[in-house]
Amino acid sequence: MRTVGNIIWIIFGGLLTALGWVLAGIIFYVTIVGIPLGRQCFKFASLTLAPFGKEISYGGGAPSLLANIVWLLVIGLWEAISYAVLGVLWCITIVGIPFGLQLFKLAKLSLFPFGAEIK
């Protein structure tokens, strides 16, 4: 079932979203200072390409906490709100509930990506 979900996800925007995250990651990597942000962009790219069947485990320590606070203030809050709104819209229909749940997973990751690991 997760393969079918991932194929449908890729067809209806997952590929374009993942490519956008990869492009953002490459841009951040070009600026040496942005390498930590680029790593997070690649993390988002892997999850937005095929989110079904993947789980996120959260960890990290004080450096991750500080980086997450900066991320949250700069982009994380708005990104999480947009993913959550899209998740609610997808959950309106019964067929869209699995896709909405994946968007909620992305919203949670959007808040605190540093220290998170995608399995």
Dihedral sign for Cα atoms in the order 55, 60, 63, 66: positive
In this predicted structure, which of 4-13, 24-33, 55-64 has the lowest mean pLDDT? 55-64
pLDDT band at 8 (very low <50, low <70, confident <90, very high): very high
Mean pLDDT of all residues belonging to the chain: 91
Residues 76 and 29: beta-carbon distance below 8 Å: no
Long-range contacts of residues 38-42, Cβ cutoff 8 Å, at least 24 apart: 40/71, 40/113, 40/114
Residue range 54-97, pLDDT digits in tens: 999 888 778 888 888 988 988 889 999 999 999 999 999 999 99
Give which of 61, 40, 52, 62 is closest to 109, Cα–Cα.
40
